[in-house]
Structure 1
Amino acid sequence: MADERIRPPWWLKYVNKVMIGLNKLGVGGDKGPVVLTVTGRKTGKPRTTPVTPMTVDGRRYIVAGLPRGDWAANARAAGEATINQGRRAQRVRMVEIPADEARPLLRQFPILVPTGVGFMKNAGLVTGPNPDEFEALAGRCAVFRLDPV
């Protein structure tokens, strides 16, 4: 499949705003979504989006839910971001993982981040929580390791 730009669903902007608001209130605890803030590559302004990190071998990773997503392009350009979980903020280095190294991480995604499966299924990227289908997204959906700064 080509690396076409998949348009996000119309409702995503509104759901993201609600999730960002809930995160600021501390809803979700330590296991749920966090708010990623990264400098926009075109505007230079802070851009925020909720993401759900997964931990593998003691390291945190995030997976872009869509190929060529704006937040991933911004993270790639900026190299650093801030992760907010409630009132806690942490500066992180955004290290993009090459496709070959991302494959085993993507296989774990449907197990570690089951809430992301439905989103990717609705986008037409997978048919369900099949690790083989997620592994096949390597090189299409960016995977970043979050290293503390």
Structure 2
Amino acid sequence: MKTSSEIDRLRRKLRPFNKVIVGLQRCGIAIGTMHVLSVRGRKSGQMHSTPVSPLTVDGVRYIVAGFEHADWVKNVRAAQVGELSKGRKEQAVKLTELPREERAPILRAFPREVPHGVQFFVRTGVTAGPDPESFAAAADRCPVFRVEPIQS
């Protein structure tokens, strides 16, 4: 696992990339499995957006976080609702965090369902390797949110 200063440096490096992804999505350009999750900030009350790659396991959609102390994770925990968009398609969603003991099967599926996201988890030290069991072993430190559409 990386130190907190190494994680902070990585987060700073990711900000410009995240802004590009969010900007492209808002222009209607969807990239791979990337979506944009927008959630109301727990302090500011303003909407904040971050790129995510949802995965589907047994017909249910999930979002996996690499850093449990990331601001977007804290905002999701506080708001429990948000907006998930891909390109110009938007959907209001309810986000429910899974208990630690229920995360392993979803994390085990991550390398198969979101292969382009595997290197991020390995490079940041979140997982020991790219294999499904390394992902399952990270269940204590990788929040997983069930994504359910909110009917308008």
Distance 2:87 2:126 in 1: 31
Number of matched pairs: 148
> How far did residue 27 of structure 1 move?
2.5
- Give the TM-score normalised by the residue count of structure 2: 0.88
- Deviation of 1:58 after TM superposition, in Å, equals 1.2
What are structure 1's unaligned runs of at least 5 residues? Answer: none
1:72–1:136 Cα change, 3 Å: same
- How far apart, in 1, do the equivalents of 2:36 and 2:9 lie? 18
Q: Which runs of 5+ in 2 are unaligned?
A: none
Name the aligned partner's letter for residue 15 of structure 1. Answer: F
AA at the equivalent of 1:57:
D
Q: TM-score, normalised by structure 1?
A: 0.90
C-alpha RMSD of matched pairs (Å): 2.1
The residue type equivalent to 1:11 in the other structure is K
Match of 2:64 in 1: 63
Q: What is the one-letter code of the residue matched to 1:114?
A: P
Q: Distance in 1 between matches of 2:28 and 2:60?
A: 23
Mapping for residues 87-98 of structure 1, pairs under 5 Å = 87-98=88-99
Give the Å deviation of 1:8. Answer: 5.5
Identity of aligned residues (%): 45
1:20 aligns with one of 15, 19, 22: 22
Point out the structure with the larger helix share: 2
